[in-house]
Amino acid sequence: MNATSLDKDILFVSMVLNAWDTYTKRVTDFLDKISDQGLLTQVAPDRNRVYYLIGHLTVVNDRMLPLLGIGDTHYGEQEAMFLTNPDNKELSGPTPEVLRQNWKDSLERLSKGFKQFSTDEWFSKHSAVSEQDFEKEPNRNKLNIIINRTNHMASHYGQLLLVKEK
Amino acid sequence: MNATSLDKDILFVSMVLNAWDTYTKRVTDFLDKISDQGLLTQVAPDRNRVYYLIGHLTVVNDRMLPLLGIGDTHYGEQEAMFLTNPDNKELSGPTPEVLRQNWKDSLERLSKGFKQFSTDEWFSKHSAVSEQDFEKEPNRNKLNIIINRTNHMASHYGQLLLVKEK
């Protein structure tokens, strides 16, 4: 590999991680500003509450740990509440304080894991694809998970932006 | 450059373009399904109308042409309406039919331009960065524009998803 193509590999990884960092920072800033009462606001009439969306994004982050091979999930018991079912105000979940902390912890764990990866590891398969399928579809690599999850986060961030606190 | 690193270069570009295609298809499918009346719905109370968001995304696509060096803008006269100013129901813009067509045309022009780029060209600077700055910040390349614009589109797509037609 010549220097130019090696540089390009490193550059590409940094471009993807920069976009991830941009959106995690935007969500974190939003969460730091909103009140506990604001968490209970729906982003639009009959749509998800902020509370649900933050829990949802946290659980999706959490599931990236085994997918990327950097750890086990920590919030498996919250998947029914925030992932497999729609928002339900009747159910009681984590307190606002715990919800906020879980979001930050989920990012911290990912960030630590990301730092361990070499460029080649970023282009290796994630755990939800078989060796055979990966040979045919080499885009199903770890870095692609970050691209897709950043877009997923951006789509919910757009919804969070609709909330106005009085 | 050996085969593996060349493959990886091609792979990056395809990963980024696949994510772009995923979200342009989602927005297009949304637009194909919504009625002309539905275009006038606000995504949340006192927030942008669907009409505005589609116009906004179209103008942002359009501005990518000069940014990527693949053409001039076609909807410069709509920038005041859809980009530099917030939604304003009093102003009259393109008809629903024209709005829908512009969206598709903006994508078509980009798609044609994307096909001309070699991998090295994707990693070359976009037109809004100087040679000097690009030397220090090589991430300010054409491919990064696609990563960022896909996230931007995803954030508005998340908002469009909140609309319910009766």
Domain residue spans of chain A: 37-160
B52 CB neighbours in chain A (<8 A) are none
With 90 as the cut, is the pLDDT of residue B101 above it? yes
CB contact under 8 A, A19 and B151: yes
Which helix H or strand E contains B146, and what residues bound it? helix B142-160
Q: Where are the beta strands (DSSP E) in chain A?
A: none
B60-88: average pLDDT: 96
Interface of B with A in 32-71 (CB under 8 A): 43-47
For residue B153, which of B35, B46, B31 has the smallest C-alpha distance? B31
Nearest CA in chain B to A16: B147
What are the tens digits of pLDDT across the range A3-44?
466 688 899 999 999 999 999 999 999 999 999 999 999 999
Q: What is the DSSP string of B9-57?
A: HHHHHHHHHHHHHHHHHHHHHHHHHS-TTGGG-BSSTTS-BHHHHHHHH
* More reliable by pLDDT, B5 or A49: A49
Q: Is B142 exposed, middle or buried (0-12, 13-18, 19+ CB in 10 A)?
A: buried
DSSP B85: S
CA B43 to chain centre: 19
Render the burial of B112-140: b for 16+ CB within 10 Å, e for the rest: ebbeebebeebbebbeebeeeeeeeebeb
Q: In 3-state terms, what secondary structure has residue A41?
A: coil
Superfamily of domain A37-160: dinb family like domain (1.20.120.450)
- Mutation site, A7, A148, A162, A164, interface B, largest B CB count within 10 A: A162
This model of the complex carries an ipTM of: 0.95
What are the tens digits of pLDDT across the range B35-66?
999 999 999 999 999 999 999 999 999 999 99
Q: Is B46 exposed, middle or buried (0-12, 13-18, 19+ CB in 10 A)?
A: exposed
Give yes or no for a contact between B57 and B80, defined as CB atoms under 8 angstroms apart: no
CA distance B162 to chain A (A): 7
Give yes or no for a contact between B83 and B122, defined as CB atoms under 8 angstroms apart: no
